[in-house]
Structure 1
Amino acid sequence: MATTDRHSRQATPPALAHALAAAERGLAVIPLSRTKLPALRSPHRDDPAAPRCHGECGRPGHGVYDATADPARLRALFAAAPWATGYGIACGLPPHHLIGVDLDTKPGADSTAALRELALRHLFTIPPTVVVLTPSGGRHLWLTGPPDVAVPNSAGRLAPGIDIRGAGGYLVGPGSRTAHGVYATAPGTAHLAPARCPRALLLLLLPPPRPHPSTPPTPGGAHGRGLVRFVLAAHEGQRNTRLFWAACRAYEDGIGPALTEPLVTAAVHTGLTEREARATVASARRLTGRGPEA
């Protein structure tokens, strides 16, 4: 039996073996090709009139929406894509709610220096965390975010050469082999868990506020009205994120308790339930240190 088990392990493709190891840590993953793109093509690619599908059809080929930490499902995905040479780790999913800070190497842009400058300007430090080295000389920093906040993907918005992988995005996992080389965990970080994203950095990653034409009277003067407008302007998929951002700012500026009810009312107006809205405000209160830890 031992011989059979050893042979089975040896027969496991390297990409699948690394993906299974990531899944053991609770990370949801998908197979990738040598181009770093999802290895499985969309089952709807020949039907441009097909309704938008995120995997509801039950077939693989929906990119990050196929991501799973279940070993059996993972083996099935790799069996359907035997050419896969790597795997992608979906961001924003439980239990880690991963946020990837991609420090790229581009001519004329020192992303490491840019992150250091941001940290000095906004008074945060990156705690010890998992770091993945890319074939081009870049680095991926793994951080975790609050479960009720969707950090958007962005490219260069934070600073030149710094890309963010959030909800709906993915990171190339260590051990993946691409056309340009192999991704590897930086020495001394493989045993670490993804660190909590510093509050000041998290606020930088969320969308900036936009004005709204009208708001009801609110505490906190013009600043309070602006935060409520920001929440009222939320579209579907932004509601929790905008409410969290506004609540964090309100508690930081000392008007959180007075602004709680207007913020909750505004969030309910956009489509959140009162229970969801109050939970998000409570999360902001805890994150800013104005309430008990979760």
Structure 2
Amino acid sequence: MLHEAPASQQVKPIPGIHDFAAISACSAAAAGVPVIPLRPGTKRPLHATGGGHLDGALRHAQAVLDETADLVTQYGSPPGWGIVTGGRLVVLDLDGDDATKWLDDLAQQHQEAATWRDATVRVRTARGLHLYGTIHEDAKVRNSAGRLGPGVDVRGTGGYVVAPGTRHPSGARYSLETDAEVNAAAAADDPGALLAVFHDMRGEGHEFAVASVAALSVPDVLLELMLDIAEAVETNTSTTSRPAITDRMARRRFEGLVRTVQTVERGQGNAALNRAAGVAAALSIDRSEAEPRLVEAYLNRPTYEGHTDRRREAVATIASGWTWGTSHPDEALRERPSTKSAQVPEPSPAPSVPVAPEDREVRECNARTDTEVNMHADDPVGASLPFAFADIAAIIDGGLEAVEADGGPVLIDGSQRFYRSAANSLFGDPETAKTLVALACGAHTMQCGGVLAFIDTDHNGGELVVRFLLALGVPRQVLVESLRYAQPDDRDELLAAVDAVSQLAPGVDDPEVLAVLDSVGENLSLWGVSPNDDQGFIDMNRRTAARLARAGCTVITIDHLAKNTESRKYGATGSTAKKRAADGAVYRVQLVKAREFSPTTGGASELVLVKDRRGGVRALGVKTGDVAARFELDAPDPKSGRQGWQLVPGDPRPTPETVEAVKLATDVDMLRQLDPPPSSKADVMARMNWGSARALAALREWRAPGGGDSGA
């Protein structure tokens, strides 16, 4: 139960401000907890962030009021608010039924976890719960996404959570769910009760407004799991490539491997057993202990239909995997499982660190330049390396001239041409503006509140990408907040960039995250495989474009057109698996005749539909082989440098008869302008410098009823 906060610390009703999110932010700030404004309609910070911390965090209630008033004036509606975590304040973010089950399993086996779950401050989110907790001063909990369990995120140092009262982009409101007293306070918009909730959450010497400090204190069993993740992240900032794994972490991961072997789908048992043995060897698990456990799990799995004793075969499979894991420990720990678990009830072992799903809601602490990313989200305790996107503000401030923005672009007449949660593709000859088309879509995405993530292995360079986006009309502040740019130099950096972008992936109702991979050919080069290697491409695509699509991103890959005449009819250069792998829309980009691109004149390209697996583009009346869209780039403005652009539906390809009709109508119009009017075919030929057939056809049409001037 909550006690009323001291009168001297209560927040009085806010004149003219009735938004519960602002009241919540005022209460937190008055209690010493920093808060930040969020972009209206999103969960992202309004102000630029970077440097490993959240800039512009407000610590005073009056600052919250001033900021709210300014933003209401600017946007016409109050902003959302975020509560900055760190210090002694951590928040457990549960997203979905799997996350709730994870905590329930932990609570079932540890009474202190059950007590904390039921008594601490709880905030209902659009997809689950935020559970607020305090930790001791010496503990350092870092942010993590999906590392504790499926859908279980931790918000600690450098992170934030959405404050109660803020509306999710879907329209749902974050609301307090602690007990009847708090719910009543929430309904009444009582800032005093909210102050009691947030009062001294950071432990700065004041008396807690909660009856029992233990009600907020994170239980030891949960804190140990959080600290294990922090320990792995800290250790992995060293130069060694081998993931740092403590004995306790190794033990939990091995238990997960045993469960995987026992529940794997039919037909995948040997593969799962071989991989489990390799990982166990890399974890330095005692083989005399590991082998019997793995053999029994393999033979006792529910999907095993034993007709002979396959124990000897299992031992041989383990021996093979163990040898490989011993000689290739880094690869063993890096390898992602390709097996699927059967739908069978799981036993109830001690809580471990389960496999993290790839379909993640947008990570609320995504805007830090030193974001820690999980290199292997499917591994229970996979390697985690620090990853930094380029500093967009530094690129702009390093000498780029700002370009004025004068309104938003038009995106394909409001019709969708690229699919969300799918891998789409643009391919074509050099200098056809493939990258420009993708950047134009990214400009539109950012100006609509979304994020553009540009993974550049084609050596465009961050400065060039930023220059293009400024010219396309994206304001500097939007670029700093919404552009994520990375230029990987090797396979590991490419994977790290992909994993970092996947952490940004949106929920169904969140603003779009557009991920551009430029280019497929260079990605294959980093992968160390030939462009014609089908299996090599499939593996690379599964770990990059397909992973981002599964995470919820709108993915656009950029590729080159084959040089061979026959191959050009099929699609992009190299493996034929490229076309098969695309589960969105595939377009060939080609120049519009006489509209080649240049820095001074702009240009135009056409997007010809090659493949539309989902059928949405064809439903708009576009057939395979038709021009689905046309990208037009204006010449740069002499003063601002901005280049207007549009991506509009493509016109149907005209038939030869239509072409001739248009030409004839043009010629007749030219004859109408002659003074004096034409008198004969010879007269037309002489005055217009036309041939005999053209002059005769135009003259006949001009002489037909309605063909000449109205006064003739």
Q: TM-score range by the shorter chain?
A: 0.5 to 0.7
Higher relative contact order, chain-length normalized (CA < 8 Å, sep 6+): 1
Residue 124 (structure 1) shift: 4.0
Q: Which residue of 2 aligns with 1:204?
A: 225
Say which of 111, 131, 141 aligns to 1:151: 141
Alignment of 1:236-255 (within 5 A): none
Q: Which residue of 2 aligns with 1:23?
A: 29
Contact 2:47 2:56 in 1 (8 A): no
Q: 1:122 and 1:165 mapped to 2: Cα distance?
A: 22
Alignment of 1:165-176 (within 5 A): 165-176=155-166
TM-score by length of 2: 0.24
Q: Which residue of 2 aligns with 1:34?
A: 41
RMSD of Structure 2 on Structure 1 (CA): 3.4
Contact 1:91 1:98 in 2 (8 A): yes
Q: Answer yes or no: is 1:113 the counterpart of 2:113.
A: no
Deviation by residue 1:125-171 (Cα, 9 ceiling, x = unmatched): 142110000123x0110001122322011111001011111110001
Contact 1:85 1:177 in 2 (8 A): no
Q: Answer yes or no: is 1:161 the counterpart of 2:151.
A: yes
3-state SS, counterpart of residue 165 of structure 2? coil
Deviation by residue 1:74-120 (Cα, 9 ceiling, x = unmatched): 33433453344311000014xxx211101101xxx521111122344
State the one-letter code of the partner of 1:90: V
Q: Which residue of 2 aligns with 1:101?
A: 92
Residue 123 (structure 1) shift: 6.4
Say which of 103, 123, 147 aligns to 1:132: 123
Q: Which residue of 2 aligns with 1:11?
A: 16
How many residue pairs get aligned? The number is 187
TM-score by length of 1: 0.54
Q: Which moved more, 1:192-201 or 1:170-179?
A: 192-201
Q: 1:16 and 1:119 mapped to 2: Cα distance?
A: 34
Q: 2:120 and 2:178 mapped to 1: Cα distance?
A: 11
Q: Which residue of 1 aligns with 2:81?
A: 87
Larger Rg: 2
State the one-letter code of the partner of 1:125: A
Q: 1:173 and 1:74 mapped to 2: Cα distance?
A: 13
Q: 2:48 and 2:61 mapped to 1: Cα distance?
A: 21
Q: Which residue of 1 aligns with 2:359?
A: none
Q: 2:63 and 2:224 mapped to 1: Cα distance?
A: 35
Say which of 171, 177, 183 aligns to 2:174: 183
Contact 1:85 1:178 in 2 (8 A): no
Contact 2:93 2:154 in 1 (8 A): yes
Alignment of 1:211-230 (within 5 A): none
3-state SS, counterpart of residue 140 of structure 1? strand
CA 157–53 in structure 1, closer or farther in 2 if over 3 Å, else same: closer
State the one-letter code of the partner of 2:86: G
CA 149–79 in structure 1, closer or farther in 2 if over 3 Å, else same: farther
CA 10–156 in structure 1, closer or farther in 2 if over 3 Å, else same: same
Residue 17 (structure 1) shift: 2.6
Q: 1:163 and 1:171 mapped to 2: Cα distance?
A: 11
Q: 2:108 and 2:24 mapped to 1: Cα distance?
A: 36
Unpaired runs of at least 5, structure 1? 1-7, 43-51, 55-61, 214-222, 224-294
Q: 1:102 and 1:152 mapped to 2: Cα distance?
A: 13
Contact 2:47 2:55 in 1 (8 A): no
Q: 2:176 and 2:222 mapped to 1: Cα distance?
A: 23
Q: 2:112 and 2:146 mapped to 1: Cα distance?
A: 19
